[in-house]
Protein backbone atom coordinates (compact mmCIF):
# COMPACT_ATOMS: atom_id res chain seq x y z
CA UNK A 1 0.00 0.00 0.00
CA UNK A 2 1.31 3.43 -0.85
CA UNK A 3 2.19 5.69 2.01
CA UNK A 4 0.63 8.73 0.38
CA UNK A 5 -1.96 8.73 -2.37
CA UNK A 6 -3.17 11.90 -3.98
CA UNK A 7 -5.43 11.89 -7.04
CA UNK A 8 -6.58 15.02 -8.85
CA UNK A 9 -5.88 17.54 -6.12
CA UNK A 10 -6.98 21.01 -7.16
CA UNK A 11 -6.59 24.30 -5.33
CA UNK A 12 -8.40 27.49 -6.26
CA UNK A 13 -7.98 30.90 -4.63
CA UNK A 14 -10.51 33.66 -4.28
CA UNK A 15 -8.85 36.81 -5.49
CA UNK A 16 -9.92 40.33 -6.29
CA UNK A 17 -9.84 39.37 -9.96
CA UNK A 18 -11.88 36.19 -9.65
CA UNK A 19 -11.13 32.53 -9.05
CA UNK A 20 -7.51 31.56 -9.62
CA UNK A 21 -6.63 27.91 -10.09
CA UNK A 22 -3.20 27.48 -8.55
CA UNK A 23 -3.13 23.70 -8.80
CA UNK A 24 -5.05 21.75 -11.44
CA UNK A 25 -5.41 18.00 -10.92
CA UNK A 26 -2.22 17.08 -9.14
CA UNK A 27 -1.62 13.39 -8.49
CA UNK A 28 1.10 11.63 -6.55
CA UNK A 29 1.74 8.23 -5.03
CA UNK A 30 4.70 7.61 -2.86
CA UNK A 31 5.82 4.36 -1.28
CA UNK A 32 7.42 4.09 2.15
CA UNK A 33 11.11 4.99 1.96
CA UNK A 34 10.93 6.54 -1.49
CA UNK A 35 12.43 9.85 -2.56
CA UNK A 36 10.31 11.85 -4.92
CA UNK A 37 10.82 15.30 -6.36
CA UNK A 38 8.29 17.85 -7.54
CA UNK A 39 9.99 20.21 -9.93
CA UNK A 40 8.71 23.41 -11.51
CA UNK A 41 9.28 27.10 -11.88
CA UNK A 42 7.42 29.94 -10.21
CA UNK A 43 3.69 29.73 -10.68
CA UNK A 44 3.81 25.99 -11.17
CA UNK A 45 1.83 25.26 -8.03
CA UNK A 46 4.37 22.85 -6.58
CA UNK A 47 4.45 24.41 -3.12
CA UNK A 48 0.73 25.11 -3.02
CA UNK A 49 -0.11 21.46 -3.63
CA UNK A 50 1.91 20.30 -0.63
CA UNK A 51 0.67 23.12 1.56
CA UNK A 52 -2.86 22.06 0.67
CA UNK A 53 -2.03 18.52 1.72
CA UNK A 54 -0.78 19.77 5.07
CA UNK A 55 -3.78 22.04 5.49
CA UNK A 56 -1.65 25.18 5.65
CA UNK A 57 -3.45 27.32 3.10
CA UNK A 58 -5.43 30.49 3.97
CA UNK A 59 -9.21 30.53 4.09
CA UNK A 60 -9.44 31.94 0.58
CA UNK A 61 -8.32 28.59 -0.83
CA UNK A 62 -10.67 25.83 -1.90
CA UNK A 63 -9.07 22.39 -1.91
CA UNK A 64 -10.69 19.49 -3.76
CA UNK A 65 -9.37 16.02 -4.49
CA UNK A 66 -10.61 12.65 -5.65
CA UNK A 67 -8.32 10.75 -3.35
CA UNK A 68 -6.30 12.06 -0.43
CA UNK A 69 -5.04 9.13 1.60
CA UNK A 70 -2.17 8.89 4.05
CA UNK A 71 -1.16 5.51 5.37
CA UNK A 72 -4.59 4.16 4.59
CA UNK A 73 -6.43 7.00 6.34
CA UNK A 74 -8.75 9.15 4.27
CA UNK A 75 -7.68 12.75 4.90
CA UNK A 76 -10.81 14.17 3.28
CA UNK A 77 -13.21 12.73 5.85
CA UNK A 78 -10.97 12.78 8.89
CA UNK A 79 -11.91 15.04 11.81
CA UNK A 80 -9.78 17.96 12.99
CA UNK A 81 -8.23 16.41 16.16
CA UNK A 82 -7.19 13.32 14.26
CA UNK A 83 -5.74 15.43 11.47
CA UNK A 84 -3.69 17.41 13.98
CA UNK A 85 -2.22 14.16 15.26
CA UNK A 86 -0.95 13.35 11.79
CA UNK A 87 0.28 16.76 10.65
CA UNK A 88 3.54 17.56 12.32
CA UNK A 89 4.21 14.13 13.69
CA UNK A 90 3.59 11.57 10.96
CA UNK A 91 3.76 13.99 8.07
CA UNK A 92 6.21 16.83 8.45
CA UNK A 93 7.40 19.79 6.42
CA UNK A 94 10.42 22.07 6.21
CA UNK A 95 10.50 25.36 4.35
CA UNK A 96 12.73 27.52 2.28
CA UNK A 97 13.75 30.42 4.46
CA UNK A 98 15.28 29.05 7.64
CA UNK A 99 15.74 32.52 9.09
CA UNK A 100 12.04 33.28 8.99
CA UNK A 101 10.63 29.79 9.49
CA UNK A 102 11.72 29.76 13.10
CA UNK A 103 10.07 32.09 15.59
CA UNK A 104 12.62 34.81 16.32
CA UNK A 105 11.29 35.42 19.84
CA UNK A 106 11.85 31.94 21.22
CA UNK A 107 14.96 29.86 21.72
CA UNK A 108 15.77 26.88 19.59
CA UNK A 109 15.30 24.59 22.56
CA UNK A 110 11.83 25.93 23.26
CA UNK A 111 10.68 25.42 19.67
CA UNK A 112 12.12 21.95 19.56
CA UNK A 113 10.58 20.81 22.82
CA UNK A 114 7.22 22.37 21.94
CA UNK A 115 6.70 19.71 19.28
CA UNK A 116 7.79 16.97 21.65
CA UNK A 117 5.39 18.15 24.31
CA UNK A 118 2.38 18.43 22.02
CA UNK A 119 2.79 15.30 19.97
CA UNK A 120 4.61 12.91 22.24
CA UNK A 121 3.57 14.21 25.65
CA UNK A 122 7.05 14.01 27.12
CA UNK A 123 7.98 15.60 30.43
CA UNK A 124 10.69 18.21 30.93
CA UNK A 125 13.68 15.94 31.39
CA UNK A 126 12.67 13.65 28.57
CA UNK A 127 12.16 16.64 26.31
CA UNK A 128 15.60 18.03 27.03
CA UNK A 129 17.28 14.71 26.49
CA UNK A 130 15.50 14.08 23.23
CA UNK A 131 16.16 17.64 22.04
CA UNK A 132 19.91 17.22 22.55
CA UNK A 133 19.72 13.87 20.79
CA UNK A 134 17.98 15.44 17.83
CA UNK A 135 20.43 18.32 17.54
CA UNK A 136 23.28 15.82 17.54
CA UNK A 137 21.51 13.80 14.89
CA UNK A 138 21.33 16.76 12.56
CA UNK A 139 24.99 17.53 13.05
CA UNK A 140 24.92 20.60 15.27
CA UNK A 141 28.07 20.83 17.37
CA UNK A 142 27.74 21.50 21.14
CA UNK A 143 23.99 20.80 21.22
CA UNK A 144 23.54 21.59 24.93
CA UNK A 145 24.72 25.15 24.33
CA UNK A 146 22.53 25.63 21.27
CA UNK A 147 19.36 24.85 23.13
CA UNK A 148 19.39 28.33 24.59
CA UNK A 149 20.33 30.07 21.35
CA UNK A 150 17.94 32.28 19.41
CA UNK A 151 17.46 31.78 15.66
CA UNK A 152 19.21 35.03 14.75
CA UNK A 153 22.30 33.91 16.63
CA UNK A 154 22.72 30.92 14.36
CA UNK A 155 23.67 30.85 10.70
CA UNK A 156 21.29 29.92 7.90
CA UNK A 157 22.68 26.42 7.66
CA UNK A 158 22.30 25.87 11.41
CA UNK A 159 18.77 27.16 11.37
CA UNK A 160 17.88 24.79 8.61
CA UNK A 161 19.32 21.93 10.63
CA UNK A 162 17.18 23.00 13.57
CA UNK A 163 14.13 23.02 11.28
CA UNK A 164 15.00 19.52 10.18
CA UNK A 165 15.42 18.46 13.80
CA UNK A 166 11.95 19.80 14.63
CA UNK A 167 10.51 18.08 11.59
CA UNK A 168 11.92 14.66 12.40
CA UNK A 169 11.43 14.88 16.15
CA UNK A 170 8.37 12.65 16.08
CA UNK A 171 9.85 10.21 13.58
CA UNK A 172 7.55 11.09 10.72
CA UNK A 173 6.90 8.64 7.94
CA UNK A 174 6.80 11.39 5.34
CA UNK A 175 8.93 14.52 5.16
CA UNK A 176 8.10 17.28 2.70
CA UNK A 177 10.98 19.64 2.00
CA UNK A 178 9.94 22.84 0.21
CA UNK A 179 13.05 24.26 -1.47
CA UNK A 180 15.09 23.55 1.66
CA UNK A 181 18.40 24.70 0.24
CA UNK A 182 17.55 27.52 -2.13
CA UNK A 183 18.40 30.24 0.37
CA UNK A 184 21.69 28.65 1.42
CA UNK A 185 25.24 28.85 0.15
CA UNK A 186 26.45 26.08 -2.14
CA UNK A 187 28.68 24.24 0.32
CA UNK A 188 26.05 24.48 3.04
CA UNK A 189 23.48 23.27 0.52
CA UNK A 190 25.57 20.18 -0.04
CA UNK A 191 25.74 19.57 3.72
CA UNK A 192 21.99 19.90 4.16
CA UNK A 193 21.14 17.66 1.23
CA UNK A 194 23.62 15.12 2.53
CA UNK A 195 21.94 15.29 5.92
CA UNK A 196 18.48 14.83 4.46
CA UNK A 197 19.57 11.81 2.48
CA UNK A 198 21.28 10.28 5.49
CA UNK A 199 18.25 10.76 7.71
CA UNK A 200 15.96 9.45 5.03
CA UNK A 201 17.94 6.28 4.76
CA UNK A 202 18.38 5.79 8.51
CA UNK A 203 14.76 6.30 9.38
CA UNK A 204 13.16 4.85 6.31
CA UNK A 205 11.24 8.08 5.76
CA UNK A 206 9.69 9.00 2.46
CA UNK A 207 10.92 12.31 1.21
CA UNK A 208 9.13 14.74 -1.10
CA UNK A 209 11.62 17.30 -2.35
CA UNK A 210 10.15 20.40 -3.94
CA UNK A 211 12.65 22.34 -5.97
CA UNK A 212 13.30 24.30 -9.15
CA UNK A 213 16.93 23.19 -9.37
CA UNK A 214 17.31 20.36 -11.86
CA UNK A 215 20.75 19.57 -10.47
CA UNK A 216 19.33 18.82 -7.04
CA UNK A 217 16.67 16.64 -8.64
CA UNK A 218 19.24 14.67 -10.61
CA UNK A 219 21.35 13.99 -7.56
CA UNK A 220 18.70 13.11 -5.01
CA UNK A 221 15.38 11.98 -6.45
CA UNK A 222 14.23 8.56 -7.58
CA UNK A 223 11.05 9.72 -9.27
CA UNK A 224 10.16 13.15 -10.59
CA UNK A 225 6.90 15.03 -11.08
CA UNK A 226 7.06 18.06 -13.35
CA UNK A 227 4.67 20.95 -12.78
CA UNK A 228 3.84 23.78 -15.17
CA UNK A 229 1.36 26.59 -14.48
CA UNK A 230 -0.46 24.49 -11.91
CA UNK A 231 -0.71 21.38 -14.04
CA UNK A 232 1.18 18.15 -13.84
CA UNK A 233 2.88 17.72 -17.20
CA UNK A 234 5.09 14.69 -16.67
CA UNK A 235 5.88 11.90 -14.21
CA UNK A 236 8.90 9.65 -14.60
CA UNK A 237 11.86 7.98 -13.00
CA UNK A 238 14.75 10.40 -12.73
CA UNK A 239 16.97 8.54 -15.19
CA UNK A 240 14.22 8.42 -17.75
CA UNK A 241 13.31 12.07 -17.32
CA UNK A 242 16.80 13.36 -18.01
CA UNK A 243 17.59 10.95 -20.82
CA UNK A 244 14.23 10.78 -22.55
CA UNK A 245 11.79 13.53 -21.51
CA UNK A 246 8.30 13.01 -22.86
CA UNK A 247 6.83 16.48 -22.50
CA UNK A 248 8.08 19.40 -24.65
CA UNK A 249 8.32 21.59 -21.57
CA UNK A 250 10.62 19.16 -19.80
CA UNK A 251 12.72 18.88 -22.92
CA UNK A 252 12.92 22.65 -23.36
CA UNK A 253 13.70 23.13 -19.67
CA UNK A 254 16.57 20.65 -19.79
CA UNK A 255 17.90 22.19 -22.99
CA UNK A 256 17.95 25.67 -21.51
CA UNK A 257 20.22 24.66 -18.64
CA UNK A 258 23.64 26.29 -19.11
CA UNK A 259 25.49 23.08 -18.26
CA UNK A 260 23.82 21.12 -21.03
CA UNK A 261 24.66 23.50 -23.82
CA UNK A 262 27.80 23.82 -25.88
CA UNK A 263 27.23 27.13 -27.59
CA UNK A 264 27.28 30.65 -26.20
CA UNK A 265 23.61 31.09 -27.04
CA UNK A 266 21.27 28.88 -25.01
CA UNK A 267 18.11 27.45 -26.53
CA UNK A 268 15.80 29.39 -24.25
CA UNK A 269 12.04 29.10 -23.95
CA UNK A 270 10.43 32.26 -25.31
CA UNK A 271 7.61 33.87 -23.36
CA UNK A 272 6.61 33.52 -19.73
CA UNK A 273 4.42 31.31 -17.57
CA UNK A 274 0.75 32.28 -17.99
CA UNK A 275 -0.71 34.13 -15.05
CA UNK A 276 -4.25 34.44 -13.82
CA UNK A 277 -5.57 36.52 -16.69
CA UNK A 278 -3.90 35.14 -19.76
CA UNK A 279 -4.44 31.39 -19.59
CA UNK A 280 -4.48 29.98 -23.13
CA UNK A 281 -7.55 28.09 -24.28
CA UNK A 282 -5.89 24.84 -25.20
CA UNK A 283 -2.65 23.51 -23.77
CA UNK A 284 -1.13 25.91 -21.25
CA UNK A 285 2.32 25.47 -22.73
CA UNK A 286 1.22 25.99 -26.35
CA UNK A 287 2.22 29.69 -26.67
CA UNK A 288 5.82 28.75 -25.87
CA UNK A 289 6.03 25.30 -27.39
CA UNK A 290 8.22 24.51 -30.38
CA UNK A 291 5.83 21.92 -31.63
CA UNK A 292 2.49 23.66 -31.03
CA UNK A 293 -0.22 23.07 -33.63
CA UNK A 294 -3.75 24.41 -33.94
CA UNK A 295 -5.02 21.43 -31.98
CA UNK A 296 -2.68 22.32 -29.12
CA UNK A 297 -3.94 25.89 -29.10
CA UNK A 298 -7.62 25.00 -29.02
CA UNK A 299 -8.04 21.71 -27.18
CA UNK A 300 -6.63 21.04 -23.69
CA UNK A 301 -4.61 17.80 -23.76
CA UNK A 302 -5.24 14.72 -21.61
CA UNK A 303 -2.48 12.79 -19.82
CA UNK A 304 -0.74 10.15 -21.94
CA UNK A 305 -0.06 6.60 -20.80
CA UNK A 306 2.59 5.47 -18.33
CA UNK A 307 4.99 4.65 -21.18
CA UNK A 308 5.01 8.31 -22.04
CA UNK A 309 5.37 9.44 -18.46
CA UNK A 310 1.71 10.53 -18.26
CA UNK A 311 2.80 13.54 -20.32
CA UNK A 312 0.07 16.18 -20.64
CA UNK A 313 0.54 16.58 -24.36
CA UNK A 314 -1.21 15.84 -27.65
CA UNK A 315 2.06 14.68 -29.17
CA UNK A 316 4.22 13.32 -26.34
CA UNK A 317 7.87 12.99 -27.28
CA UNK A 318 9.54 9.67 -27.91
CA UNK A 319 13.32 9.93 -28.20
CA UNK A 320 12.94 13.69 -28.70
CA UNK A 321 10.44 13.46 -31.55
CA UNK A 322 6.71 14.16 -31.12
CA UNK A 323 4.51 11.13 -31.76
CA UNK A 324 1.44 11.22 -34.01
CA UNK A 325 2.65 14.57 -35.29
CA UNK A 326 0.70 15.77 -38.38
CA UNK A 327 2.93 15.67 -41.47
CA UNK A 328 1.96 19.06 -42.86
CA UNK A 329 3.19 20.87 -39.78
CA UNK A 330 6.44 18.97 -39.65
CA UNK A 331 7.47 20.36 -43.02
Partner 1 sequence: MKGDVVLEATDLTRHYHVDRGTFRSPAVLKALDGATFTLAKGRTLAVVGESGCGKSTLARLVTMIEKPTSGMLNIGGTDITSADKQTLMALHKTVQIVFQDPYGSLNPRQKIGHALEEPLLVNTPMGKKERREAAMNIINLVGLRPEHYDRYPHMFSGGQRQRIAVARALMLNPNIVVLDEPVSALDVSIQAQILNLIALLQEQFDLAYLFISHDLSVVKHIADEVMVMYLGKPIESGCRDTLFAKPHHPYTRALLSATPVADPFRVKERIVLRGELPSPIAPPSGCTFHPRCPSMTDICRDKAPETQEIDGCRVACYHPKVYPPKE
Partner 2 sequence: MTEIAIQEVIDNRPTGFRAVVTEFWSYFSENRGAVVGLVFFIAVVLIAVFADFIAPHAPNHQYRDALLQPPFWQDGGSIKFPLGTDAIGRDMLSRLIHGAQYSLFIGCIVVSLSLVAGIIFGLLAGFFRGRVDTFIMRIMDIVLAFPSLLLALVLVAVLGPSLINAMIAIAIVQQPHYVRLTRAAVMTEMTKDYVTAARVIGIRSLRLMFVTILPNCMAPLIVQAALSFSTAILDAAALGFLGMGAQPPTPEWGTMLAEAREFILRAWWVVTFPGVAILTTVLAINMMGDGLRDALDPKLKRS
What does each C-alpha distance from 190 to 31, 61, 280 come to in angstroms?
25, 35, 39
Q: Does residue 18 bind partner 2 (CB under 8 A)?
A: no
User: In this chain, which of 48, 163, 177, 269 binds partner 1, going by CB under 8 A?
Assistant: 269
Write down the least CB distance from residue 151 to partner 2, Å.
Answer: 21
Say which entry of partner 2, partner 1, none residue 278 contacts (CB below 5 to 8 A, set by partner kind): partner 2
Position 190 contacts partner 1 (CB under 8 A): yes
1 interacts with partner 1 by CB under 8 A: no
Interaction pattern, residues 272-311, with partner 1; x per rule: CB under 8 A: xx--------------------------------------
Restricted to residues 23-42, the positions that interact with partner 1 (CB under 8 A) are 41-42
Q: Is 263 in the site for partner 2 (CB under 8 A)?
A: no
Q: Is 207 in the site for partner 1 (CB under 8 A)?
A: no
Q: Is 265 in the site for partner 2 (CB under 8 A)?
A: yes
Candidates 16, 105, 186, 331; binder of partner 2 (CB under 8 A) is 16
Contact flag: residue 287 with partner 2 (CB under 8 A): yes
Q: Measured between alpha carbons, how far is 113 from 119 in angstroms, rounded to an integer? A: 10
Q: Name the minimum Å distance from CB 116 to partner 1.
A: 26
- The item of partner 1, partner 2, none sharing an interface with residue 191, based on CB under 5 to 8 Å by kind, is partner 1
Site string for partner 1, 230-249 (x = CB under 8 A): --------xx--xx------
Residue 186 in the binding site for partner 1 (CB under 8 A): yes
The yes or no reply on residue 145 touching partner 1 (CB under 8 A) is no
Give which of 118, 116, 171, 174 is closest to 147, Cα–Cα. Answer: 116
Q: Nearest-CA neighbor of 107 among 157, 169, 162?
A: 162
Distance in Å, CB of 230 to partner 2, minimum? 15
From first CA to last CA, the distance across the chain in angstroms is 48
- Quickly count: other Cβ atoms within 10 Å of residue 295's Cβ: 15
Sequence-distant contacts of 78-86: CB under 8 A, at least 24 apart: 83/55, 85/119
Nearer to partner 1, 9 or 209 (CB): 209
Which of partner 1, partner 2, none does residue 260 bind to, with CB < 5 to 8 Å depending on kind? partner 1
Q: Write out the residues near partner 2 by the rule CB under 8 A.
A: 15-17, 265, 270-272, 278, 287
Q: Write out the residues near partner 1 by the rule CB under 8 A.
A: 41-42, 155, 157-158, 185-191, 193-194, 212-219, 238-239, 242-243, 252-254, 256-261, 264-270, 272-273
Amino acid sequence: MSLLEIANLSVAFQTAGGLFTAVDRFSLQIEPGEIVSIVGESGSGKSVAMLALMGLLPWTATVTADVLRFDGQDLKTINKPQLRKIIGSQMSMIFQEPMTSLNPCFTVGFQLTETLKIHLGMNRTEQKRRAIELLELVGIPEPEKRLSAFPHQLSGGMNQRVMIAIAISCNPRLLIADEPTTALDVTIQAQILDLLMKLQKEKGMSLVLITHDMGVVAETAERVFVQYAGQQVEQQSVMGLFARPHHPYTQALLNSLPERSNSRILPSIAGIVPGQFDKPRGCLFSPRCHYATDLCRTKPPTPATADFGYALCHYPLLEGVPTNYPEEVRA
